[in-house]
Amino acid sequence: MTGERASPQAEGRSARLISWAPLAWLLLFFALPFVIVLKISFSRQRDGQPPYEPVLDPSGGLSNLIDEARKFSLESYSSLLSDSLYLESYLSSILIAGAATILALLIAYPVAYAMARAPRRWQPLLVILAIAPFWTSFLIRIYAWTMILKDEGLLNHALMSVGIIAAPIQIYATHWAVLIGIVYSYLPFMILPIYNALEKQDRTLIEAALDLGATRLRAFFCVTLPLSLRGVIAGCLLVFIPAVGEFVIPDLLGSSDTLMIGRTLWDEFASARNWPGAAALAVVMLVLLVIPIGYYQRMQSAGDRP
Amino acid sequence: MNRRIGAHHIAALVAGFAFLYVPIALLILYSFNASRLVTVWGGFSTRWYGELLQNEQLLSSVWISLRVALLSGAFSAILGTCAAYALVRAGRFRGRTIFSALLYSPMIMPEVIVGLALLLFFVAIGLERGFWTVVIAHTTVGMCFATVVIHARLAEFDRSLEEAAMDLGATPATTFRTVTLPICAPAIVAAFLLAFTISLDDFVLASFTAGTGSTTLPMRIYSQVRLGVSPQINAISTLMIAAVAVMLCVAYFAIGRKGRAPAA
């Protein structure tokens, strides 16, 4: 019955055929929208609906193309440079995201290490425990922290009733609260890749290093840490990239002067109704993130080669 | 190998997991507080749950969110299955790099960018924002997570089972239906659940793409949280956590059982 049996080529063909559905979806609802963002970032703001002057309107045909090209405006980009609000937003987003990434790494590494060194039969449960918070609502977890951190919240109440502090310390509506919120929300993304890298390690390598006279500390820094670097980098990217564009956390836990680009973009879009400005902010944010995102993708697709 | 866990390892685990779980535990605890104030324990009460049932706005948002999550979860599972199948079985094809770049980007890209892009797209093509635009937005992100889950299962798939079926005379279509699909079913269910939860949880994409009359539950919660701490939010949060926990347990046992008898 070999006649009916599908050859690898035929299977490859049908698999490629099937790929059209998800590919078409992503091209239509992911790639094309970015082309439109780019287009609108070059248009001028106006009053009306939609609140921007269309550029490169294809309805006028080819003859109109030169006229259309003249409507191109760099106004939104030049205002990004001239208004210090935007530059400060970018800078403080990167700083806050970077600090949160380092903090998350410092907390996650010992946890991931302990998970990987725990008895085998504990490990599935520990992994589930590390993933489970990801399944509960992000918004709810941030809300839990507003309950804890507010001036009249649980933390201040507890500290005051024990007598450690006399008056409430202000954490809520500061950069610290935003930092705690980001670290808390993204911690599972840091723990899991590091755990995966550590768990795969051949433990005889450590034993070899110890046999050769290395101290435990030296064995850790010369063997364990370098071998887990892939997980560390993946974890850092998974925390840093989304944290740069974070909007909910600075909005709920930060003060009005916690500038983060995601929030500035939202204000530009919703309050100022400056759609070209918001589009330009998004384009610049993407340009800043394209290197880390590209790097992460290369790491990922290196793992799924056929 | 002798695996004794050291005291400092236990300390790291306890501290790490306490950090992750204490806020959630406090949230649940205070949903049963009779007092409106967080700092005062007024005794055990289910008063806030009762009030939830009278909050019609909230209930209608729950209904909208559930419908969006069901639809986008189902679309994500279907598209994710196709995408994972293509990635594992199509070999090297033109556009593969772009395809996998497109699949990994929505997962990691800041949500505000994806949300803004979709909104501007919907406005540009003249599609009025509402229920379906939220479903599209959630499917776009959900299908990528679904792909990753199904991809993992397909990649470790024992191809000899398919070959055996075809040697016994099954057509490729029959083989797919009777061998490939049943083996991948647990992963497809897991992918659906993941996309479902992501949709149920999403605030940013929904607030860019929802129109009037399609306010989802997270959007409703968000506007209440901005007004301050309220025990009603604790109550709805607790219900959501309980729902997800039950769902995960059911899925865990369902998948575990099927996984043990794959070729049945």
pLDDT one-digit tens code per residue, B174-225: 888 888 888 888 889 989 988 998 999 899 999 999 988 889 999 999 988 8
Domains of chain A: residue spans and CATH = 76-302 (1.10.3720.10)
Token pair belonging to B223? 């506007």
- Three-state DSSP at B39 gives coil
R_g of chain B, CA atoms, integer Å:
22
* Residues B187, A107: Cα–Cα separation, whole Å: 31
Q: Are A29 and B136 in contact (CB under 8 A)?
A: yes
Question: Mutate which of B2, B14, B20 to test chain A, going by most A C-beta atoms within 10 A?
Answer: B20
Mean pLDDT in chain B?
86
Put simply, the chain A residues between 207 and 236 with a CB less than 8 A from any chain B CB are: none
Q: What is the pLDDT of residue B2?
A: 45
Neighbour-count burial for A35-60, b at 16+ CB within 10 Å, e otherwise: ebbbbbbbbebeeeeebbebbeeeee
Q: For chain B, say whether A95 makes contact (Cβ under 8 Å).
A: no
Mean pLDDT in chain A?
85
B241 versus A51: which is more confidently predicted?
B241
- Is B15 a residue whose pLDDT tops 60? yes
* Residues A229, A234: Cα–Cα separation, whole Å: 8
Given an 8 Å threshold on Cβ–Cβ distance, is A27 in contact with B20?
A: no
Tokens 């918001």, located at residue: A278
- Is A176 a residue whose pLDDT tops 80? yes
Domains of chain B: residue spans and CATH = 55-260 (1.10.3720.10)
Count of A–B CB contacts within 8 Å? 286
Of all residues in chain B, the one with the smallest CA distance to A133 is: B20
Q: How many helices (H) and strands (E) does chain B have?
A: 12, 0
Chain B CB contacts of A144 below 8 Å: 23-24, 26-27, 237
Q: Are A179 and A99 in contact (CB under 8 A)?
A: yes
Q: What is the pTM of this model?
A: 0.86
* Residues B51, B48: Cα–Cα separation, whole Å: 5
Cα→Cα distances B226→A147, A256, B40, B55, B235, Å: 12, 13, 21, 18, 17
Q: Which ipTM score applies to this complex? A: 0.85
Mean pLDDT of A221-250: 90
Chain A CB contacts of B203 below 8 Å: 138-139, 248
- Mean pLDDT is lowest, of A63-72, A91-100, A173-182, A201-210, for A63-72
Q: Are B134 and B216 in contact (CB under 8 A)?
A: yes
* Residues A231, A227: Cα–Cα separation, whole Å: 9
Q: What is the pLDDT of residue B254?
A: 67
Which amino acid appears at position A266 of this protein? Answer: W
Q: What is the pLDDT of residue B259?
A: 45
- Is A147 a residue whose pLDDT tops 70? yes
* Residues A63, B54: Cα–Cα separation, whole Å: 61
Chain B CB contacts of A247 below 8 Å: 110-112, 204
Tokens 């080529």, located at residue: A9
- Is B260 a residue whose pLDDT tops 60? no
Chain B CB contacts of A26 below 8 Å: 99, 102-103, 106, 140, 143
Reported as a single tens digit per residue, the pLDDT across B124-161 is 898 889 999 999 999 999 999 999 989 888 888 788 88
The shortest C-alpha distance from A133 to chain B (Å) reads 7
- Is A8 a residue whose pLDDT tops 90? no
